[in-house]
Amino acid sequence: MILVLQIIGIFLGSFILIFFENILLSLFNFNFFIVLFLLFSKRTSIKLFLPVTILISVILDVVLHNRLGTTLLLLLLPSILLYILSFFSQIEEGLSLYITSFLAALLFYISKCLLPPFLLTNTWGYCDGKIFVSIVFKALITTAFIWLGELLIAKFRDGGNSNQIRLK
Amino acid sequence: MKKYKKSFTISDKQSFFIILIPIIILLILLDSRNLLYFFRNGLSFIYEPVAVSGSQIGKGIKDYFLTFSQISDFRDEYNQMKIDIFEKDINNAYYQTILEEKQALEKQLNMANKEAHYLKAKVVGYDSDSIRINVGSEDGVVVGDTVLFGNMFVGIVHEVDLNGSLVILPYSKNSSFEVFISPSGIENGVVTEKTEVFSKAVVKGVGDHIDIENISSESLARDGDIVVSNDKKINQYLIIGRIANISSNPAETSRSGNVIPLIDYSDLMTVFVDIRKEGI
């Protein structure tokens, strides 16, 4: 029963996510999916996270007319970066969380600028100084969203604990 | 503690990469061979309407904000366009004036007495029985000069200032002169030498119309005949207009009627002043 509800929830959630993703892409060329990916990658079970990520990525590739697997590849690169950085410092909290999130988002947007045209036409995408400035700005916004998301999650978690009776 | 177990560990991340990388390679390879078109079509059928709706809404919001952010540019552009339109209107009006003047000059050259000296004048004001023109004593205009347009009589200069003059139209109660009535001898508005005179008469302005009196009861004059000036004050054969409403009472010793001018004086822009009077 829980599995069925989960599937229905994912199905409905994918519609909402695709809708808002397209609005934000049309408005600011901003990907909200990377925010969700970075927020939930360290909080969700891989058994749920991996299929949902694959499903949403493939749907995004279809509706954005990219080669299938493009969004997954774009998400893989920041994940590898975070994985490598995790050997050098604690990346799951504090200032380092936001620095690494910023770097991951930056890598995501740079690769988004260069990779999809390459996968479609074997020609690297175009990226000049102006585009790079906008990429940095979008990475900063992504980091801000992650900060907001962390605050919200912390608030919900605290709210949940406050209702619980503690037994010592 | 239970929650902590669910979150990613290093091994989870490794398995994440191990699963993801082959899937990515497989997807890219199969899609580049177009082997997943049925899968794409299915997903496209389900999600494309939502995506298109989202894109359209996003684009609409973006257009709205772009318009809002560029409102100062639009205002500048609007003001510039207003200036351009004004400039074009001014140019157009100027060209219209030149065109009208050209046509008036052509008419004057073709139809007027070639021996007379004409002074071009612009009409700067119009009343029901007079017009004001922009030439005066400085240009050689004197009281009594005849004002004409082609071969059409316009009026007689009544007052002269340095740079302007008042011209009395035939409508004026001060306007009275002798004319003759001719049914023929007018070709294209030009009085020819073969003019046949039906009758002599007197034209008087009444204010809102022009009367013609003292038409011989024996004459063959009828409505539509041409009324031509024949007075020392005018000194030229100029067409006043056409007869209308001519009386036909056999008991009268003379007949009378109205004269309808061939030109509308209120539409005149350029007229000519005969500054050298010649005898008829």
Give the residue with greater pLDDT, B187 vs B63.
Answer: B63
Would you call A51 an interface residue with chain B, using a CB distance cutoff of 8 Å?
no
**pLDDT tens for residues B213-229?**
888 877 777 788 888 88
Find, among B84, B140, B144, B94, the residue nearest to B117 by Cα: B140
Q: Report the pLDDT averaged over residues B102-106.
A: 79
Would you call A84 an interface residue with chain B, using a CB distance cutoff of 8 Å?
no
Q: Report the pLDDT averaged over residues B198-212.
A: 86
Would you call A42 an interface residue with chain B, using a CB distance cutoff of 8 Å?
yes
In single-letter form, the type of residue at position B188 comes to N
* DSSP reduced 3-state for A63: helix
DSSP character for A66? P
Question: Which pLDDT band holds residue A53 (cuts at 50, 70, 90)?
Answer: very high
Give the residue on A whose Cα is nearest the Cα of B9: A42
**pLDDT tens for residues B109-118?**
776 666 668 8
**pLDDT tens for residues B178-193?**
888 887 555 555 555 5
* DSSP reduced 3-state for B271: strand
Bridge partners, residue B119, by sequence: B273
Question: Is residue A33 within 8 Å of A54, Cβ to Cβ?
Answer: no
Bridge partners, residue B239, by sequence: B152, B228
Most trustworthy range by pLDDT among A54-58, A125-129, B173-177, B183-187: A54-58
Decide if B31 and A68 are in contact by the 8 Å CB cutoff.
yes
Taking the CA of residue B1 and the nearest CA in chain A, the distance in Å comes to 13
- Residues 86-115 on A with a CB inside 8 Å of B are 86
* DSSP reduced 3-state for B204: strand
What per-residue confidence (pLDDT) applies to A37? 92
Indicate whether B25 pLDDT > 70: yes
* DSSP reduced 3-state for B20: helix
> Greatest CA span in chain A, whole angstroms?
64
Pairing type for strands B118-126 and B270-274 reads antiparallel
**pLDDT tens for residues B115-163?**
668 888 888 888 888 889 988 888 888 888 889 888 888 999 988 888 8
Burial of B82 (0-12, 13-18, 19+ CB in 10 A): exposed
Would you call B35 an interface residue with chain A, using a CB distance cutoff of 8 Å?
no
**pLDDT tens for residues A94-140?**
788 899 999 999 999 999 999 998 988 888 888 888 999 999 999 99
What is the spatial distance between Cα A154 and Cα A160, in angstroms, rounded to a whole number? 10
- Residues 61-90 on B with a CB inside 8 Å of A are 61-62
Decide if B58 and A24 are in contact by the 8 Å CB cutoff.
yes
CA distances from residue B32 to A53, A56, B35, B112 in whole angstroms, order as listed: 21, 20, 8, 89
Cα angle: A72, vertex A77, A79; to 5 degrees:
90
What per-residue confidence (pLDDT) applies to B109? 72
Contacts of B218 (CB under 8 A, 6+ apart): B199
Name chain A contacts of B56, Cβ cutoff 8 Å: 26
